[in-house]
Structure 1
Amino acid sequence: MEPEAITFGTDGWRATLDEFTTPRVRIFAQGVASYLREEGPEGPVAVGYDARESSPAFAEEITRVLCANGFDVLLPERDRPTPLFAYGIVDRDLAGAVVVTASHNPPEYNGVKFIPGDGAPALPPVMDGIEDRLAEPETLPEDEHGSAREVDFVSPHADQVRELVDTDGISGLSVAYDAMHGSGRGTTDTLLERAGADVSRLRCERRADFGGSPPEPAPENLEELVERVEGGDAEVGIANDGDADRIAVVTPERGYLDENLFFAALYDYLLEDDAGPVVRTVSTTYLIDRVAEAHGESVREVPVGFKWIAQAIEEEDALVGGEESGGFTIRGHVREKDGVLMAAVAAAMHAVEPIDNRVDRLLSAHGTVVQDKTSVDCPDDEKERAIAELEDHIPEEVRGVAVEDVVTADGFKLLLADGSWLLVRPSGTEPVLRVYAEAEDGERVSELLAAGEELLGTVV
């Protein structure tokens, strides 16, 4: 089996099950074992997995390889959210964790991600170190093998959330929770319920096919949750993706709440009792910047990918970091996106002031913003060439508005004279180029997205 068949993406390897096979998973596990033995800290390794039908078996294979390499392995009693293992690393002083998950991808996918000893997403030198060591599994003498045992990853994480979040106001709050048949079931809803919320559950049973739609908390996949909240059956709705590291929020007035608006409201809420800069990705709204400016705080912009957010959070001692795709974490927690933690934060925030009211107030104070995105097909092996060639096609104006500056932290972000912007960047998880746009109204955003697609047409 050739290690070259394993292609790393943003923070691990993800593929369809015809490529994501047991022999290749074992090769990945050996790469992790060799890396940890030669460069990582000492200690046990956590092995977690999501709710996919194939995930427990893959986790078992990874455990065998790690134990055969002399590592003790800590396992959950069932599939659990990815952020629980990130916190477990720090809480239990582990060498790292391997999680079998394809996150929000449909059921025909699976994946593996490695989380190093600091509980934050692995940076490129770590993943390069694993990739360089991909090989057929090794086996030490049997008396040098590690052992595997089940431990409780849920309770320590729940205790941490209660320490970070003032959950007193959640008591009596009616929350509709949608697990999308993923690993958040029995974790996020239980946490909210024990904080005193009146929780009604949707899709909180494990289903291998995720009920026919991918566990992606996008508007088109959360129609029942929206109906329940807009119909008055719950004060707020919360959903997690397949491995519960991301969050989506539903409100009575807006239905599905744009993640950019949630991020702005979140930062504003946290600033009521604390202070500090914010970290956001290049694809995230400038409304964050306006909230920061109003409070005398600074903003750090980073490329898309939570590993860059995590790195900047540490460098800036940021109050919060996040991205427009629904991944967030806050100061005092591990530097990994955590949809379980954020469910408690969202409920606490709504209990203090309805999220719709907070968003209305922010938009009134700082101006309306609308953002949207689209994608253009592009094979993975063509992305680098396409983006490089794009440099020669950057226009001086977009739909009649001058380009004032170009940011190249991640692809090309065109800052326009009217305060709007257009971003083109390669996806780290799919064979597409992403086009993002932000402006004061939806019509202008549509124009900018069309211009972005036309721009990509010159190189794809």
Structure 2
Amino acid sequence: MAQIKFGTSGWRGIMCEDFIFDHVKVVTQAIADYLHAQGEADKGVVIGYDARFMGERFAHEAARVLAGASILSMVCDRDTPTPVIAFEILRRQAGGGINFTASHNPPEYNGLKFSPSWGGPALPETTSDIEKRANAMLGQVCYKEMALDKAVRAGLVEEIDPREPYFKAIRSLVDFDAIARSGMTLAVNPMYGTARGYLDTLLQEAGVKVVTMNDHRDPYFGGMPPEPSKAHIPDFIKLVKERDDIALGLATDGDADRYGVIDGDGTYIEPNYILPLLYDYMLRRGKRGDAARSVATSHFLDAVARHHGQKVLETSVGFKFIGEYIRDDKILIGGEESAGLTVQGHVPDKDGILACLLIAEMVAVEGKSLSALLSDLYQRVGEFHARRENFRLTPELEDSFAEKIKSPPQALAGKKIAEVITLDGCKFLFEDGTWVLFRKSGTEPVVRVYGEAGDEKELQRLIDAAAEFVGVVK
């Protein structure tokens, strides 16, 4: 029997294989037991779901199990963005939240993400506790279930609409007047996911001209994984490129915790560039504070921090570690190369809706395209080019890579390695500031290689040297 295993953002699996009702009920009971053990059970649990198949049903089954454990469930009335669920946990001072989402994964996947009372993704010590409890109960009927109508009558299940309180919070963080005054037309693509009626509605209510696409619920996500990366939004790029009146394209992933941005000329702008642009904008507007990024994220952010006399805190991959810094009010902004971002005073979880709105505000206030803003920033702090590639390993290469990484070389690509960072994977920092990171996948024979240099030619040289180090023929 497959074991329950939480990854960087919850437990995920293929529906009808390992993500099945019995397993969902067992994990929910494990969460109930954890909350009782922590003294948090009497605060209730917010339950949400994304736009995938059976989302409502999974949410209601979880509510029935929690009711059997005498825990109140506050169930969202429709598919709901992950950051909205995080916000509602904090607003209601709930004991935690259960969110049925597989985020940007293909439609055959679903997942269960648990957030504790502080609103961010559960930390490893929490998920390890829940895993241990769940795996000890697999194959057993270890939970009590209460019929949904009975649970409602008993006051143990209530339906909630979390949208307006979240809208109020977002309006305090974003200058919608500036966006509206700019006269820009913005394109919005929720990718058939939970940002429908959130990102577009916030802009429209502020008087902004909005063009929308893919704005109805589709559990197949139009036949693409609901990930707003360049490869998965060709229709959106085409729309922005072909229409002269659109200044910016703003996309969100399936559960609206990630973002994708298209400049007015149809150019996709990587998250590695968005994060430093926003940080620089916030600092130039008078805000102060350090930043945090994952170990795999561009050091462009570090250059911006140095320019303004601030620091950058480096974390393992997984937004929960950045969320801790937001929770503890230690940073102004935090983000990662995989398009996660949040800011001081907001939820300690990724928010693709807020990210899109802050980008629109920046473009409106500066009166320049993202490409022009990027060029300006390069002039002030230097140029950065980053990329990630996945190298598939044969069994022989997998064994040899494990040995190589235990004893890193003194040089790579003709460059002396100044520092080796093993926070998450193995990162070689070179004397000239360039770097390469190797992270082995925990689920497949793949090593993820991240690199950064001052220009594309040097970056390619680093990636090629990294491939040679692994033993992969490109």
> When the two structures are superposed, what TM-score results if normalisation uses the length of structure 2?
0.90
When residues 149 and 35 of structure 1 are mapped into structure 2, their CA distance, relative to the original with a 3 A threshold, is same
Q: 1:233 matched to which residue of 2?
A: 245
Unaligned runs of 5+ in 2: none
Q: 2:156 matched to which residue of 1?
A: 147
Q: 2:257 matched to which residue of 1?
A: 245
Q: CA deviation at 1:77?
A: 1.5
2-side partners of 1:341 and 1:31: how far apart? Answer: 32
CA contact (8 A) 2:89 2:97 kept: yes
When residues 428 and 304 of structure 1 are mapped into structure 2, their CA distance, relative to the original with a 3 A threshold, is farther
Aligned residue runs from structure 1 range 12-411, under 5 A: 12-17=10-15, 18-41=17-40, 42-134=42-134, 135=137, 136-139=141-144, 147-171=156-180, 172-231=183-242, 232-253=244-265, 255-271=267-283, 272-315=285-328, 317-353=330-366, 354=368, 355-377=370-392, 389-411=403-425
Q: CA deviation at 1:282?
A: 1.0
Aligned residues: 454
| Structure 1 counterpart of 2:6, from 4, 8, 17 | 8
Aligned-partner SS, 2:222 = helix
Q: Deviations over 1:343-371 (max 9, x none)?
A: 22111111111333221110122222111
Q: CA deviation at 1:427?
A: 4.0
Letter in 2 for 1:295: H
When residues 101 and 422 of structure 1 are mapped into structure 2, their CA distance, relative to the original with a 3 A threshold, is same
Q: 1:441 matched to which residue of 2?
A: 455
When residues 13 and 387 of structure 1 are mapped into structure 2, their CA distance, relative to the original with a 3 A threshold, is farther
2-side partners of 1:229 and 1:140: how far apart? Answer: 50
RMSD (Å) for aligned C-alpha atoms: 2.3
Q: Deviations over 1:298-348 (max 9, x none)?
A: 111111110111123345620000001110000001111111121221111
Aligned-partner SS, 1:235 = strand
When residues 388 and 431 of structure 1 are mapped into structure 2, their CA distance, relative to the original with a 3 A threshold, is closer
Q: CA deviation at 1:146?
A: 5.5
Q: Deviations over 1:153-191 (max 9, x none)?
A: 111111101112222111133110111111111111111
Unaligned runs of 5+ in 1: none
1-side partners of 2:146 and 2:116: how far apart? Answer: 26
State the identity %: 39
Q: CA deviation at 1:140?
A: 7.8
Aligned-partner SS, 1:58 = helix
Please, which moves more after superposition, 335-344 or 223-232?
223-232
2-side partners of 1:59 and 1:386: how far apart? Answer: 45
CA contact (8 A) 2:186 2:250 kept: yes
CA contact (8 A) 1:279 1:313 kept: no
Please, which moves more after superposition, 185-194 or 29-38?
185-194
Aligned-partner SS, 1:97 = strand
Letter in 2 for 1:7: K
CA contact (8 A) 1:393 1:455 kept: no
CA contact (8 A) 2:8 2:317 kept: no
CA contact (8 A) 1:173 1:196 kept: no
Q: 1:415 matched to which residue of 2?
A: 429
CA contact (8 A) 1:387 1:425 kept: no
Q: Deviations over 1:176-227 (max 9, x none)?
A: 0111111111111111222222111111111121111100111011222222
CA contact (8 A) 2:387 2:450 kept: yes
Please, which moves more after superposition, 426-435 or 69-78?
426-435
Aligned-partner SS, 2:468 = helix
